[in-house]
């Protein structure tokens, strides 16, 4: 019988930091908006002879902020180091990084994953981020993943591979980069995805990284090994580089787990190596390096004195920590009476949570009603229009007023959807739109009664069938009322009057 | 005991620092390195228990830069020194390996 | 008028009293370079046009009386490892033979702002790796006192250009004696300031934690003058001190009586040439006559200074020289390159001389997996002990006196076959660099008609005391006034 295996996974997350200037020089760090290659450059970031680095204070503060958010301890004394290797995207022949004494160490993050299952058939992830198939929350478990270290380094230049040569653009060279390294505490694809998703959410909450994976501002590397369940040995691991989406991350890990299991099952041994992920073929591939083993020859960077962070400085950075997703979720549950999954959804993005809170604060309706509107029609609008929440100009008070109008039966839910889409697209006040479009809900019994009478008179055959026992026709009559009133009739009143009038005709 | 640095090691180090060397050069460097490293081994005599490395001793103050963008150098100037360039990029031969 | 023997101070007087223009002075020196430098070979590049342009500007400044500094209009030379915008900067290496920097080093900028006139760039051991200037990829520089001998290294071209009267001062660079050792061989004054006193921005790095730019001059007063102008905090160099630069020339005349001069016993041992030792002893007596108290002190880890220095230098240099890869600037040997790695291998093979190759390979070795602790880390720990040696000595005395070299200038070719023997000539000058302390070298006599140098070593950031004591010595001696018979 095939033994059952447990994967052992560690993740390295590379995240660019949002700063105005580069890590070690005054060039603009905004390489994405540079109109032309090699325009945000200087002697420092192109590695010209004699140039020297000077560390960006803001980047150091952001690194501390991330460390604090990941429950790390901050090393008050930390040092830069040179990581030596040759590559055309690395102008100095070494990368300034941190090695022995990183800026932050020994943190943790709580992740959630489905109850343990063996990995004879690794579960296939079903998509990116939010859309991932959810295991019912009752079947989920929580565990801590330790964060080994958070360190500062500089990004490399961008290399464009042409057919017989390559082109180098140094606009990205020297952009501040954070490396967040986990311990190998992750034991499933789902847990890896949850960890990566949570780190991304935290970085976005802190405003230090946009999380925009397509632009390459966040990149993953995974190291993977498998071992028999219930063993705690650490077997040979492989390192998968260049995972530039959640989908690539989960697919690559799942593939690699299965590949290693099959190697052990067929009596082979896993070779320690660096792998690449081929997204098209859906497989990991060996990256044969000419250098048999990497020997980065790290040593302390003599051009940068050790960093000394005072307690006051660290504490002043701590005061800038916003409420993080986990804390916000808990508060949303207790303050707004939301369910866990409702709260999770709203806190998945800081901007979304903030928007919800602002609408909820203005609305008289219950917070859960506000949640349904945001999770429903509002998100549908965003998805359909391809807009992000940052693009939304709709004032929270207007949104709140609209929701209250439904609660107060001033308009019907259907009409409110029309109004909401109108407001999202071109702004405006809900009351005014309702007036202009004549969408106010009709609750006046006399008015509705007249319409009901007309419909019954115009459709004697249907009335007869209803009276003969086909009571499902009531829905059809409701539809006729809705059509006649353009959806404005209060459905409860309409239903009541329809039933009453039909019953009267039985006599 | 004199420490020898074999030609194999010399070749490995030469590749690490991307120096093309011939067999004869490797042999010559091997002899010279052995003598020099042997001399360096003199440091083993020194008791450095509890002595911190000098590289870890900090200045009194941090020297940091405020996050302010400074003007960049001109690309034309930069590319003037470049052996090969194309469309504003530095051009290099195919990059194999990782 | 003999322009080429003028001190900065003398030339300044002539310039501001309009007895001489900077253009005249510059033309005279350029003429002498054309005449004599074919024998000395101190310059790699002479920037004649630029020099005359700068001299003209200096004359305008002087005419208007605006912004005139003691360096305005003074022609100088500079070691070819300091970046000069628009002027070829080679480090005397094939790999940079045609490299024209797009920017100025901070020191270059400061000198330009002061109105000094750059004549050209001087020869050196390739990337500063050497003690005789014989590791220049271009040519040997000859000692103006004896053309069959070396000028010392690595700032040999700088020292020789000054001694030969081919500039009024020179800017050298001292990683492990590279200013002081050639200053001693060529009979000029030169200072290695405290590490971090002068910006390294734009200095092509050899060993980042040792490299110090320092002036070479005809006397101590000039040396203080130049250092005043080039020292100070630089926002582009994280290792520079923020401490303000004192006005060294203002207090240079202060009395030195009762100051304590330490004689490190480890520096006066067998192996020193007799003539060097007697010159040093005579200097000590001179300081005694000047009222100083002489004390024997101990720097117990002195014998380890050389291996510490070389190990750390090799390691840092192996990384510092990685950027010379043939892709962005400098030599690029691309023929037949199938892969970018081929460009690296070919360019660096062709572009670097043997000494550079040795050092970057040994540096990579000392840093590589399995050897880091035994070599690099061990050296960094012993470096701490070297620093403590100086701290402990300076708790007893104000400054130290030592030779700059165990011998006078040796013959060209005498030590080129054995790298280790060449390293040993740096034995007296290297310890100050791992310790970061300042040291000034100045002439103190002759042995067999060749100059002998001594150095005074001071506390961190105490260049002031060095200038005072060295200046007092030059008030009662005239070794520094001796001119080579060219």
Summarize pLDDT for C120-177 with one digit per residue, the tens. Answer: 999 999 999 999 999 999 999 999 999 999 999 999 999 999 999 999 999 999 999 9
Among A359-373, B58-72, C206-220, which is the least confidently predicted range?
B58-72
8 Å CB contact between A142 and A111: yes
- Structure confidence at residue A128 as a pLDDT band (50, 70, 90): very low
Q: Would an 8 Å CB–CB cutoff place C329 in contact with chain A?
A: yes
Query: Contact C361/B96, CB-based, under 8 Å?
Result: no
Active-site option among C41, C42, C77, C79: C79
Q: How far is it, in rounded angstroms, from Cα A323 to Cα A232? A: 36
Complex-level ipTM = 0.96
Distance from CA of C48 to the nearest CA of A (A): 24
Q: How far apart are CA C44 and CA C157, in angstroms?
A: 8
For residue A116, pLDDT over 70 is answered with: no
C197-205 mean pLDDT: 98
Q: Which residue of B has its CA nearest to A308?
A: B62
Q: Give DSSP secondary structure letters for A221-282.
A: EEEEEEEETT-------EEEEEE-SHHHHHHHHHHHHHHHHHHHHTT--PPP-EEEEETTTT
- Quick: pLDDT tens for C53-97: 999 999 999 999 999 999 999 999 999 999 999 999 999 999 999
A241: chain B residues, CB-CB within 8 Å: 98
The pLDDT tens digits for A425-434 are 888 888 888 8
Q: Which residues are bridge partners to C326 per DSSP?
A: none
| Residue A385 to residue B44: CA distance in whole angstroms | 71
Q: Is residue A328 within 8 Å of A180, Cβ to Cβ?
A: no
The alpha carbon of residue C157 is apart from the nearest alpha carbon of chain B, in Å, by: 26
**Sign for the pseudo-dihedral over CA of A134, A136, A141, A143:** positive
DSSP A420-462: HHHHHHH---HHHHHHHTT-PPB--HHHHHHHHHHHHHH-HHH
Among candidates C91, C209, C369 on the partner chain, residue whose Cβ is nearest the Cβ of A295: C369
Q: What is the pLDDT of residue A137?
A: 53
- pLDDT tens per residue across span A353-381: 999 999 999 999 999 999 999 999 999 99
| E runs forming strands in chain B | 64-65, 85-86, 89-93
Q: Average model confidence (pLDDT) for chain A?
A: 90
Instruction: Give tens-digit pLDDT for C227-239.
Output: 999 999 999 999 9
Q: Output the CA torsion A166→A172→A174→A180 (10° steps).
A: -100
DSSP string over C383-411: HHHHHHHHHHHHTT-SEEEEES-SSSPPB
Q: Determine, for residues A39 and B55 on separate chains, whether the beta-carbon distance falls below 8 Å.
A: no
Q: What is the pLDDT, as a whole number, of residue A432?
A: 85
Beta strand A81-84 with B64-65 is unpaired
Instruction: Name the least confident of A72-81, A431-440, B22-31, C74-83.
Output: A431-440
Element (H, E) at A491: helix A491-506
**Pairs of CB atoms within 8 A across A/C:** 104
Residue predicted with more confidence, C418 or A303: A303
Classify residue C87 by its DSSP letter.
B
- Report the Cα–Cα distance between both ends of chain B, in Å, rounded: 41
pLDDT beyond 60 at A134: no
User: Would you give the DSSP letter of residue A155?
Assistant: P
Question: In the numeric block, which tokens belong to residue A449?
Answer: 């009664």
pLDDT digits (tens, 9 = 90+) for A305-334: 999 999 999 999 999 999 999 999 999 999
* CA gap A225, A238 in Å, rounded: 7
Rounded-to-10 torsion of CA A56, A62, A64, A68: 180
From residue C135, give the alpha-carbon distance in Å to each of C216, C262, C413. 21, 35, 11
Of C178, C199, C209, C332, the active-site residue reads C178
Which chain B positions have a beta carbon within 8 Å of C371's beta carbon?
none
| CA gap C238, A306 in Å, rounded | 10
pLDDT tens sequence across A83-105:
999 999 999 999 999 999 999 99
Residues B16, A170: C-beta atoms closer than 8 Å: no
Q: Check if C434 contacts B (Cβ < 8 Å).
A: yes
pTM: 0.91
Q: Look at residue C116 and tell me whether its pLDDT is greater than 70.
A: yes
Predicted pLDDT of residue B58: 63
Q: How confident is residue A21, by pLDDT bands cut at 50, 70 and 90?
A: very high
Closest CA to C142 of C153, C150, C133, C152: C150
* Chain A residues whose beta carbon lies within 8 Å of the beta carbon of residue B67: 19-21, 56-59
Please report the pLDDT score of residue A124 as a whole number: 42
Among the listed ranges A128-132, A213-217, C457-461, which one has the minimum average pLDDT value?
A128-132
Q: Does the annotation count C79 as an active-site position?
A: yes
Looking at residue A506, its pLDDT comes to: 80
Task: Check if C178 is active-site.
Answer: yes
Which pLDDT does position C424 carry in this prediction?
Answer: 82
pLDDT digits (tens, 9 = 90+) for C325-375: 999 999 999 998 889 999 999 999 999 999 999 999 999 999 998 899 999
In this prediction, residue A120 carries a pLDDT of: 42
User: φ, ψ for residue A188 (rounded to 5)?
Assistant: -155, 160
Residue A379 to chain B, least CA–CA distance (Å): 36
Which residue intervals of C65-188 are DSSP H helices?
106-114, 156-163, 180-186
Separation CA C183–CA C151 (nearest Å): 8
Q: Taking CA atoms, what residue in A is nearest to B86?
A: A167
Q: Where are the beta strands (DSSP E) in A302-373?
A: 307-308
Cβ within 8 Å, pair B67-A20 = yes
d(CA A22, CA A154) in angstroms, rounded, equals 8
Asked if pLDDT for residue A233 goes beyond 90, the answer is no
Hey, are the CB atoms on B91 and A166 less than 8 Å from each other? Answer: yes
Question: Cβ contact (<8 Å) for A304 and C323?
Answer: no
CA distance linking residue A444 with residue A209, whole number of Å: 54
Cβ within 8 Å, pair C323-A303: no
Question: What does the alpha-carbon distance between residue A484 and residue C345 come to, in Å, rounded to a whole number?
Answer: 84
pLDDT at residue A121 tops 90: no
Which tokens in the block code for residue C451? 């100059």
- Please report, rounded to a whole number, the percentage of residues in chain A having pLDDT higher than 70: 93
Q: What 3-state class would DSSP assign to C450? A: strand
pLDDT of residue A125: 42
Nearest chain C Cα to B64, which residue? C238
Q: What residue of C is the nearest CA neighbor of B62?
A: C238
Q: Does A167 touch chain C (CB under 8 A)?
A: no
Residue C454 near chain B (CB below 8 Å): no
In what side-by-side order are the strands of the sheet with A165-169? A158-161, A165-169, B89-93, B85-86
Best C197, C314, C361 residue to mutate vs chain B (most B CBs within 10 Å): C361
pLDDT interval class at C478 (50, 70, 90): very high
| Interface list for C 198-227 with B (CB within 8 A) | 209
Tokens of A384: 């359909």
pLDDT band at A440 (very low <50, low <70, confident <90, very high): confident
Establish if C236 touches chain A: CB-CB under 8 angstroms.
yes
Question: Shortest CA distance to A154 belongs to which of A126, A171, A173?
Answer: A173
Q: Is the pLDDT of residue A239 over 70?
A: yes
Contact residues, B window 16-75, toward C, CB-based 8 Å cutoff: 16-21, 25, 29, 32-33, 35-37, 39-40, 42-44, 46, 48, 51-57, 59, 61, 63, 65, 73
Mutate to test the interface with B, among C202, C328, C338 (most CBs of B within 10 A): C328
A77 in contact with C, Cβ within 8 Å: no
pLDDT value, residue B1: 44
Name the phi and psi angles at A493, rounded to 5.
Answer: -65, -45
In chain B, positions 32-91, which contact chain A (CB-CB < 8 Å)? 53, 55-59, 61-70, 72-73, 75, 78-79, 86-91
CB neighbours of residue A231 within 10 Å: 11
Q: Which helix (H) or strand (E) holds A487?
A: none
């Amino acid at each position: 019988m095939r033994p059952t295996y447990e994967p052992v996974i560690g993740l390295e997350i590379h995240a660019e930091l949002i700063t105005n200037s580069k890590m070690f020089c005054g060039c603009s760090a905004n390489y994405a908006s540079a109109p032309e290659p090699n325009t945000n450059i200087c002697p420092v970031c192109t590695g010209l002879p004699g140039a020297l680095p000077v560390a960006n204070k803001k980047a150091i503060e952001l690194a501390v902020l991330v460390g604090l958010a990941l429950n790390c301890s901050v090393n008050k004394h930390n040092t830069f180091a040179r990581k030596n290797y040759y590559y055309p995207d690395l102008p100095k022949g070494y990368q300034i990084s941190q090695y022995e004494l990183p800026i932050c160490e020994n943190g943790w993050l709580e992740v959630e994953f489905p109850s343990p299952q063996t990995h004879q058939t690794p579960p296939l992830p079903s998509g990116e981020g939010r859309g991932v198939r959810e295991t019912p929350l009752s079947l989920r478990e929580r565990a801590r993943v330790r964060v080994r270290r958070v360190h500062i380094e500089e990004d490399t230049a961008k290399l464009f591979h042409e057919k017989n040569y390559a082109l180098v653009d140094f606009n990205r060279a020297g952009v501040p980069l954070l490396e967040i390294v986990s311990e190998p505490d992750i034991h499933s694809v789902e847990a890896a995805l949850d960890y990566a998703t949570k780190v991304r959410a935290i970085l976005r909450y802190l405003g230090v990284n946009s999380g925009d994976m397509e632009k390459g501002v966040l990149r993953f590397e995974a190291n993977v090994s498998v071992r028999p369940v219930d063993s705690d040995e650490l077997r040979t691991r492989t390192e998968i580089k260049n995972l530039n989406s959640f989908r690539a991350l989960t697919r690559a890990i799942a593939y690699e787990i299965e590949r290693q299991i099959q190697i052990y099952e067929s009596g082979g041994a896993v070779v320690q190596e660096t792998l690449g992920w081929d997204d098209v073929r859906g497989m990991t591939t060996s990256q044969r390096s000419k250098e048999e083993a990497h020997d980065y020859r790290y040593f302390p960077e003599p051009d940068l004195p050790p960093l000394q962070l005072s307690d006051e400085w660290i504490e002043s950075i701590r005061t800038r920590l916003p409420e993080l997703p986990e804390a916000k979720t808990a508060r949303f549950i207790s303050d707004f009476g939301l369910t866990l999954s409702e709260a999770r959804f709203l806190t998945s993005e800081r901007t979304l949570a903030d928007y919800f809170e602002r609408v909820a604060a203005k609305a008289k309706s219950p917070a859960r009603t506000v949640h349904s509107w945001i999770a429903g029609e509002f998100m549908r609008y965003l998805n359909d229009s391809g807009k992000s929440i940052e693009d939304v100009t709709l004032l929270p008070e207007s949104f709140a007023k609209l929701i209250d109008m439904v609660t107060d039966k001033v308009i019907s839910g259907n009409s409110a959807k029309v109004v909401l889409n109108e407001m999202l697209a071109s702004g405006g006040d809900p009351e005014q739109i309702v007036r202009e479009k004549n969408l106010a809900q009709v609750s006046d019994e006399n008015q509705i009664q007249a319409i009901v009478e007309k419909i019954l008179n115009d459709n004697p055959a249907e009335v007869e069938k209803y009276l003969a026992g086909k009571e499902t026709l009531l829905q059809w009559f409701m539809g006729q009322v809705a059509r006649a009133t353009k959806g404005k009739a209060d459905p409860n009143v309409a239903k009541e009057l329809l039933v009453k009038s039909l019953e009267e005709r039985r006599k | 005991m004199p420490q020898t640095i074999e030609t194999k090691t010399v070749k490995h180090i030469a590749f690490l620092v991307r120096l093309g060397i011939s067999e004869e050069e490797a042999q010559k460097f091997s002899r010279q390195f052995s003598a020099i490293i042997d001399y360096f081994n003199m440091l083993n005599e020194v008791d450095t228990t509890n002595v911190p490395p000098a590289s870890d001793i900090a200045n009194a103050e941090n020297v940091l830069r405020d996050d302010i963008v400074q003007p960049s150098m001109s690309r034309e100037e930069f590319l003037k020194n470049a052996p090969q360039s194309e469309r504003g990029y530095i051009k290099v031969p195919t990059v194999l390996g990782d | 008028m003999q322009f080429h023997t003028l001190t900065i101070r003398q030339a300044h007087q002539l310039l501001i009293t309009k007895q001489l223009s900077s253009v005249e002075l510059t033309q005279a020196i350029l003429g002498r370079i054309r005449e004599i430098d074919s024998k000395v070979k101190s310059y790699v590049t002479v920037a004649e046009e630029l020099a005359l342009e700068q001299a003209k500007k200096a004359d305008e400044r002087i005419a208007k009386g605006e912004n005139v500094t003691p360096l305005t209009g003074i022609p100088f030379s500079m070691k070819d490892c300091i970046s000069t915008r628009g002027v070829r900067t080679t480090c005397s290496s094939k790999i940079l033979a045609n490299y024209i920097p797009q920017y100025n080093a901070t020191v270059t900028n400061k000198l330009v702002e002061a109105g000094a006139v750059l004549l050209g760039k001087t020869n050196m051991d390739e990337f500063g790796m050497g003690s005789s200037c014989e590791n220049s990829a271009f040519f040997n520089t000859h000692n103006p006192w004896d053309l069959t001998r070396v000028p010392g290294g690595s700032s040999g071209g700088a020292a020789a250009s000054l001694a030969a009267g081919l500039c009024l001062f020179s800017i050298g660079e001292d990683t492990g004696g590279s200013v002081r050792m050639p200053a001693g061989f060529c009979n000029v004054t030169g200072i290695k300031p405290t590490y971090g006193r002068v910006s390294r921005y734009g200095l092509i790095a050899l060993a980042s934690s040792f490299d110090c730019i320092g002036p070479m001059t005809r006397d101590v007063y000039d040396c203080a003058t130049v250092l005043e102008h080039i020292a100070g905090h630089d926002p582009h160099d994280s290792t520079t001190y923020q401490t303000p630069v004192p006005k060294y020339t203002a207090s240079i005349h202060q009395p030195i009586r009762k100051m304590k001069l330490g004689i490190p016993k480890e520096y006066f041992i067998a192996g020193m040439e007799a003539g060097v030792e007697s010159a040093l002893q005579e200097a000590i007596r001179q300081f005694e006559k000047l009222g100083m108290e002489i004390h024997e002190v101990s720097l117990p880890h002195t014998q380890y200074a050389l291996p510490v220095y070389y190990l750390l230098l090799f390691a840092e240099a192996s990384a510092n020289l990685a950027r010379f890869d043939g892709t962005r600037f400098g030599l690029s040997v691309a023929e037949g390159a199938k892969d970018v790695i081929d460009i690296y291998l070919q360019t660096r093979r062709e572009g670097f001389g043997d000494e550079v190759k040795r050092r970057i390979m040994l540096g990579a070795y000392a840093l590589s997996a399995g050897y880091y602790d035994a070599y690099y880390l061990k050296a960094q720990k012993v470096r701490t002990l070297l620093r403590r040696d100086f701290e402990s000595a300076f708790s007893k005395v104000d400054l130290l006196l030592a030779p700059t070299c165990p011998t006078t200038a040796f013959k060209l070719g005498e030590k080129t076959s054995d790298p280790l023997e060449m390293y040993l000539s740096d034995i007296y000058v290297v310890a100050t660099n791992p310790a970061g302390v300042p040291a000034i070298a100045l002439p103190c006599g002759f042995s067999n008609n060749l100059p002998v140098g001594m150095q005074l070593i001071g506390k961190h950031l105490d260049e002031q005391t060095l200038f005072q004591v060295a200046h007092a010595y030059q008030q009662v001696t005239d070794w520094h006034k001796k001119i080579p018979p060219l």
